Amino acid sequence: MRISARNQIKGTVVEVQKGATTSHVRVDIGGGQIVTSSITNEAVDDLGIKAGGKATVVIKASDVMIAVD
């Protein structure tokens, strides 16, 4: 499957923190950058996401903001 989302960055899952319905997944994308994702617990279970696994962070371009100093 290929998806329209313009931003797809490969990395390694470093932490999965499960809440009551929502999990926070942290992915190391290299260069010292950790990306945090908030997804459903159901998705974590369904995809078998766990620390140490390979994963791609996927972000739609319209969800990316730009900041300047």
- Residue 52 in contact with a second copy, rule: CB under 8 A: no
CA pair distance 39, 22, nearest whole angstrom:
6
Give me the least distance between CB of 54 and a second copy, in Å please.
7
Cα separation, 2 vs 11, in Å, equals: 18
Task: Write the CA distances from 40 to 49, 61, 68, 69, integer angstroms.
Answer: 11, 21, 32, 34
Binding mask 10-49 for a second copy (x = CB under 8 A): ---x---xxxxxxxxx-x-xxx-x-xxxxxx-xxx-xxxx
Q: Which residues bind a second copy (CB under 8 A)?
A: 1-9, 13, 17-25, 27, 29-31, 33, 35-40, 42-44, 46-49, 53-69
